[in-house]
């Protein structure tokens, strides 16, 4: 079965711009979570969506937002990009709590 | 709050050596426990899991046992290969909130030399 698909794989943006990342979960998985991974901070939780509703939210500024569509696909948006937003953004889906996540390969965002 | 502590890396071993990566956690309730592995340039892959006390998760020669009394979930492999070189993350589940549904530590980088 198809895994979690993230697009694009790589992205280069300029400070001040905004960016949208996309995630298609495994078919049937209704929970989608997003993480930011950097060498300094490690894995940091951004938010989780379940059936189109944000269920949990990490400690990130309001420039980071997301949404989930009726087909469970999810997008995250970062506005007014800063150099510190350069990171690997990982999306993960799960069937239900306690099952663990299946991760995508990530989107590598570089802000210049 | 809920947290996880992994041994500091990097860990460097010779091929066929025995591997142990320690993991201890504090979590509310009765979490499920997971080990994830991340190869260079990739996302995380679920390596193994355990959902109740004394359960042993295993996969690809790796094992970990859910020890409720010591709140630990140490990862072991009897004979590592160069292809096992990666970063390993221990992750207990939690009940959501600002940490999400899994708590990730900083990971332990393993390098296996031929």
pLDDT tens digit sequence for B57-94: 999 999 999 999 999 999 999 999 999 999 999 999 88
**In A14-100, beta strands by DSSP E:** 19-24, 31-38, 42-50, 53-57, 64-68, 74-78, 87-94
**How far is the alpha carbon of B72 from chain A, nearest alpha carbon, in Å?**
17
pLDDT confidence bin for A33, thresholds 50/70/90: very high
pLDDT single digits (tens) B6-60: 988 899 999 999 999 999 999 877 889 999 999 988 899 999 999 999 999 999 9
**How far is the alpha carbon of B21 from chain A, nearest alpha carbon, in Å?**
18
Query: Which of B42, B98, B101 is closest, CB to CB, to A57?
Result: B98
- Would the CB atoms of A94 and B101 count as touching at under 8 Å? yes
Test mutation, A61, A89, A100, A108, chain B, max B CBs within 10 A: A100
Cβ pairs bridging A and B (under 8 Å): 63
pLDDT single digits (tens) B93-112: 887 777 788 889 899 999 99
Q: CB within 8 A of A62, min separation 6: which ones?
A: none
């Amino acid at each position: 079965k198809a895994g979690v698909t993230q697009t694009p794989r790589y992205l280069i943006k300029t400070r001040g711009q905004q960016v949208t990342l996309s995630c298609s979960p495994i078919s049937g998985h209704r929970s989608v979570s997003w993480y930011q991974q950097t060498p300094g901070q490690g894995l940091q939780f951004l938010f989780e969506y379940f059936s189109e509703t944000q269920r949990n939210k990490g400690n990130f500024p309001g420039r980071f937002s997301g949404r989930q569509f009726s087909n469970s696909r999810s997008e995250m948006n970062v506005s007014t990009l800063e150099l510190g937003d350069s990171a690997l953004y990982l999306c993960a889906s799960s069937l239900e709590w306690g099952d663990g996540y299946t991760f995508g390969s990530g989107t590598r965002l570089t802000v210049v | 709050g809920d947290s996880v502590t992994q041994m500091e890396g990097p860990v460097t071993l010779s091929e066929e050596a025995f591997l142990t990566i320690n993991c201890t956690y504090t979590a509310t309730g009765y979490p499920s426990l997971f080990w994830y592995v991340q190869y260079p340039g990739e996302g995380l892959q679920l390596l193994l899991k355990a959902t109740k006390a004394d359960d042993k998760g295993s996969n690809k020669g790796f094992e970990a046992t859910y020890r409720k009394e010591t709140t630990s979930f140490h990862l072991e492999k009897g004979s590592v290969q160069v292809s096992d070189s990666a970063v390993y993350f221990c992750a207990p589940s939690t009940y959501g909130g600002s940490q999400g549904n899994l708590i990730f530590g900083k990971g332990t980088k393993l390098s296996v030399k031929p």
